[in-house]
Structure 1
Amino acid sequence: MYSIEVVLAMLLAVVASGYLVRVVPFSLPLPMVQIALGAVIAGVFGHGVRLDPEIFFLLFLPPLLFLDGWRIPKVGLFRDKASILELAFGLVVFTVIGAGFLIHWMIPAMPLPVAFALAAIVSPTDPVAVSSLAKRVPIPKRLMHILEGESLLNDASGLVCFRFAVAAVMTGTFSLASASLTFLWVAAAGLAVGAGVTWGVSLTQRWLSRLLGEEAGSSILINLLTPFGAYLIAEHLEASGILAAVAAGVTMSYVELSGRALATTRVQRAAVWDTVQFSLNGIMFVLLGEQLPGILERAAISVQETGHRSGWWLLAYALAISAILALLRFVWVWVSLRLSLFRARDPGEPLQRPHWRIVAAVSLAGVRGAITLAGVLTLPLLLPDGREFPARDLVIFLAASVILISLVVASVALPRVLRGLELPDEPAEQRKEDRVRREAAAAAVAAIERTRHALSAASAADADLYANAAVRVMANYQHRLEDSAVPGDVDAERLRAADRAEVALRLAALQAEREAIFRLAREAEISDEISRKLVRQIDLMEERYR
């Protein structure tokens, strides 16, 4: 019963954090609020929750990585693949090696393999943290796509490096040749398992839907279980469950393009996944806050082993490691951009230098978040011989501190660096959207005509009824086709303003409809069943316009 109460308290803290972050008088990152609420929970309940690292890893990471892979913009991912791969793989290895040696030099009491594990787990950037930051900081879209692509891929590379480093601590041995071969197997097999599981599940689900019909609740539950299935199968085959979850999510984005899922399933599924993402990210930070008092106490003991008596050395280590990570990232981004400009230049042209603000923006936007936290909390409690894992609490404290420092620094410094900075935007993005709208409207008009003729042929007596209905339905599409034919950027902007006005009017009308239905239900003029049915239809229409 106690565990259930703690879990409910954590979920309540996640809910409260969403409101508190909006009422604080200054801009405060959401994870900091959640950590503070977790510390409050620890004070109320008196002692922390004992975590099983493997269960924690299984519960939190597969769905988050799956969702990252599913929602990543694929066009930007493939267009800027060179820059993304350099950041996602090259920078991770550079950070693990460089930061690992520097951390071990700075904290001799931390064994070198443990220092590598800490460097590996703080190397990945977090897409959720970057996205939440983008809501308050106007990050250019092209840069945002690169950061999202990097955060998706470096989650996998950083966590795999972390696993190798932890294995070296547990066994006391490490072979680069053996690790390289193992990495090739776990990567290739993990990617294959993730893609295969998603395709297999989608084909089975499609067959069952054709045979028995589709139930939205069952489809959503299957979708939620897919990342866990991919992860567990890959781990059973001694492959990377992390890469399997990512590959399953990327494959899901292509399965989604088939458009076979019902509209109501897609709407409900998006809401469910948003809730899962918000809850899992929030619980991890609340859990960190709940364990923070004990972690601080044991981390201070680890610091004393280095010969330092003052607890302020914890802060000094955290700031130093954050500075090391920022410096390594700045150097890598600068060199990477120089190489990209060198490859892109025409023969005989002088080499352009990357603007320092672009380098600074990419460096500052490397925010750490939930993936780092989830990974570091999975550190084993004991070594195979029964001794405690060396400097475990110090590693957890330093990783959590890096997360907070990166969030605060990015929130403060990134808006100033990005102010007035222009980057190459998505090519002709608005024109592409207008063309797609035009083609979709033309397809809709043709489908309405075909359906009207089919209905009229089946019932000649109602031909006028079908013709009038077709005219009403086609009016909006004809309006879209006529508007899209008007040339000129000014006219196009006026038409988009007209579209926004139309949306505002439609939303007002839908709100009035909903209020009228609720009023009739309160007055018992209609049943609850009719009320729910009509309101759901209005909600779906409103979701479409929003």
Structure 2
Amino acid sequence: EMKKWWRIIGSFAFLVVSFTALSVAVVANYFIPGFSLALGFLLGGIVSPPDAVSTGAIMKFVKIPGSTAAILKGESLLNDASSLIIFRFALAAVATGQFIWQDASLNFLWMVIGGAGIGLLMAWLFVQAHKRLPTDAPSDTVLTVIEPYFMYWMAEQLHSSGVLAVVAGGLYMANRRLTFLTSTSRIRVYSVWESFVFILNGIVFLIIGLELPEIEAGLRSEGISLSSAIGYGLLVTGVLIVSRIISAYVALLATILFRPGVVPRANSLRQRLMIPFFLGWTGMRGVVSLAAALAIPVYVTDGVAFPHRNLILFITFVVILLTLVVQGLTLPLLIKYGKVFDGLTE
């Protein structure tokens, strides 16, 4: 199903995320005192990717067509990689104080192409290992936990994108899981990973509560009031929501213009206009944004504190909270009263 909608998925995973990060960068640079454009892109890279877990949790309570579900699922697999690439380049620009477009373009191509290629190569090797080694359900489960880390490590050692390597390799292995995993192994692997993801999400959000008092104290020491920080968080959240909705319409329009036969079905013009709005509204932020924000180093070099680290973390917390509460809780209402998918079954 995702293969059929790869054009729209690619638009959302790369173009929409890039436009969202750019919008946040420009607004943050203009409205937040002392916020450079590099810091703006850093913040944009952190908060631009929607959270797959949050969206998936909401989708359990609503019924949507398979095509829309495939688009959201496919986007969630790739948008983390694109946003973290932006994050990496912006972090380097903040740390070094310079950004060379030519070098960045070449590095970007290598990170994308090299990361995907390394992931596919490693995945092929792992599939062969599963087929040839005398594995059982427990050993298969352990291998599925180890393999993503090995893909990530190998890609990072070659200065490519570890996230893209894991995504590409994971898709390859998932498509061929029936050839090397028994039914018992698949059931065991799914159960373990479901519990593993749940625990990790709980730990990450627990960190918010543990870090918040220290971050608030850091903001006060930097002369930033709590009300101002909340205001910046509200501003960035608004930019995220609006820019994603706008870019969702642009992405769908581009697909209609170039490949009119490859768009989600709709029974009316109103429904066709509502589907991009729905896709734009499913922009809840979560674990990836929080993990990226926490990955910002405390110091740049020689003991110099990283500029506005506490503010970036606080804004990220506000964005996660608001998008989960506002967008997450209103998504079922949007589907029901907006009649987004009435009459659609696929």
Q: What TM-score, normalized by structure 1, do the two folds share?
A: 0.59
Question: Where does residue 284 of structure 2 map in the other structure?
Answer: 367
What is the CA-CA distance between 1:407 and the residue it aligns to?
A: 0.8
Tell me what 2:107 maps to. Answer: 182
- The alpha-carbon distance between structure 1 residues 247 and 355, as it changes in their structure 2 partners (threshold 3 A), is closer
In structure 2, the residue matched to 1:128 is 53
State whether structure 2 residue 204 is matched by structure 1 residue 284.
yes
Greater RCO, CA 8 A, separation 6+ = 2
**Aligned counterpart for 2:227 among listed residues 291, 312, 328:** 312
Report runs of 4+ in structure 1 exceeding 6 Å deviation. Answer: none
Partner of 1:257: helix, strand, or coil? helix
Superposition deviation, residue 290 in structure 1: 1.3
Structure 2: gaps of 5 or more residues: 262-268
Inter-partner Cα distance in structure 2 for 1:300 and 1:405: 23
Aligned ranges 1:104-253 → 2 under 5 Å:
104-209=29-134, 214-253=135-174
CA–CA separation in structure 2 for the residues paired with 1:396 and 1:424: 43
Moved more, 192-201 or 133-142: 133-142
CA contact (8 A) 1:142 1:423 kept: no
Q: 1:338 to 1:247 in 2, by over 3 A?
A: closer
Aligned residues: 338
Find the aligned partners of 1:423 and 1:343 in 2 and give their Cα distance: 27
CA separation of 1:328 and 1:301: change in aligned 2, threshold 3 A: farther
Deviation at 1:102, TM superposition (A): 0.7
| Mapped contact 1:338–1:353 kept (Cα < 8 A) | no
Match of 2:187 among 250, 264, 267: 267
- Summarize deviations over 1:378-410 as a string: whole Å, max 9, x none: 111111232011111110111121111111112
State the distance in 2 between where 1:340 and 1:208 align: 45
Cα offsets for 1:334-360 (capped at 9, x unmatched): 2233333444569xxxxx677443233
Amino acid at match of 1:368: R
User: Shift of residue 411 of structure 1?
Assistant: 2.8
Asked if the contact 2:271/2:340 (under 8 Å) is kept, the reply is no
- Alignment match, 2:246: 331
Report percent identity of matched pairs.
34
Q: Describe the superposition over 1:461-514 as per-residue Cα deviations: whole angstroms up to 9, x where unpaired.
A: xxxxxxxxxxxxxxxxxxxxxxxxxxxxxxxxxxxxxxxxxxxxxxxxxxxxxx
Amino acid at match of 2:60: K
Structure 1 segment 378-417 matched on structure 2, within 5 A: 378-417=295-334
Query: Partner letter of residue 175 of structure 2?
Result: Y
Q: Read off the aligned partner of 1:146 and give its amino acid letter.
A: I
Partner Cα distance (1:335, 1:261) in 2: 41
The 8 Å contact of residues 333 and 362 in structure 1, kept in 2 or not, is answered as yes
**Quick one: distance in 1 between partners of 2:83 and 2:342?**
28
Please give the per-residue CA displacement for 1:418-476, whole angstroms capped at 9, x wherever unaligned. 1132268465xxxxxxxxxxxxxxxxxxxxxxxxxxxxxxxxxxxxxxxxxxxxxxxxx
Partner in structure 2 of residue 66 of structure 1: none
Q: Which amino acid aligns with 1:228?
A: Y
The residue type paired with residue 400 of structure 1 is: F
Counterpart in the other structure of 2:265: none
Whether the aligned pair in 2 keeps the contact of 1:126 and 1:369 (CA below 8 Å) is: yes
Q: Which moved more, 1:189-198 or 1:123-132?
A: 189-198
Q: Is the 8 A contact 1:142 1:426 kept in 2?
A: no
Tell me the distance in 1 between the aligned counterparts of 2:48 and 2:184: 39
Partner residue in 2 for 1:90:
15
Q: Secondary structure at the match of 1:79?
A: coil
The DSSP-based 3-state class of the residue aligned with 2:138 is helix
Is the 8 Å Cα contact of residues 293 and 313 (structure 2) preserved in structure 1?
A: yes
Q: CA-to-partner distance for each residue in 1:58-111, whole Å, 9 max, x for gaps?
A: xxxxxxxxxxxxxxxxx2x22112211111111122112221011111112222
SS of residue matched to 2:176: helix
**3-state SS, counterpart of residue 280 of structure 1:** helix
CA displacement, residues 507-546 of structure 1 (integer Å, 9 cap, x when unaligned)? xxxxxxxxxxxxxxxxxxxxxxxxxxxxxxxxxxxxxxxx
Partners of 1:357 and 1:418 within 8 A in 2 = no
Aligned to 1:255: 176
Closer/same/farther in 2, CA of residues 338 and 195 from structure 1, 3 Å limit: closer
Given residue 233 of structure 1, which amino acid in structure 2 is its aligned partner? Answer: M
User: Aligned equivalents of 2:30 and 2:183: distance in 1?
Assistant: 57
Gaps of 5+ in 1: 1-74, 347-351, 428-546
User: Is contact 2:201–2:287 with CA below 8 Å preserved after alignment?
Assistant: yes
Deviation at 1:279, TM superposition (A): 0.9
Q: Quickly say closer, same or farther: Cα 1:219–1:344, change in 2 above 3 A.
A: closer
Cα distance in 2 for partners of 1:354, 1:301 equals 51
Look up the SS of the partner of 1:78 in the other structure.
Answer: coil
Q: Structure 1 residues 412, 178: closer, same or farther in 2, change over 3 A?
A: same
Identify if the C-alpha distance between structure 1 residues 240 and 322 changes in structure 2 by more than 3 Å, giving closer, same or farther. same
Measure how far apart 1:147 and its partner are: 1.4
Could you tell me the TM-score, scaled by structure 2's length? Answer: 0.91
Cα deviation, residue 208, structure 1: 1.8
Work out which of the two has the higher radius of gyration on C-alpha atoms and give 1 or 2: 1
Shift of 1:139: 3.7
3-state DSSP class of the match of 1:382? Answer: coil
The match for 2:341 among 418, 422, 430 is: 422
Contact 1:125 1:154 in 2 (8 A): yes
What CA RMSD, in Å, does the superposition of the two structures yield over aligned residues?
Answer: 2.1
Shift of 1:173: 0.9
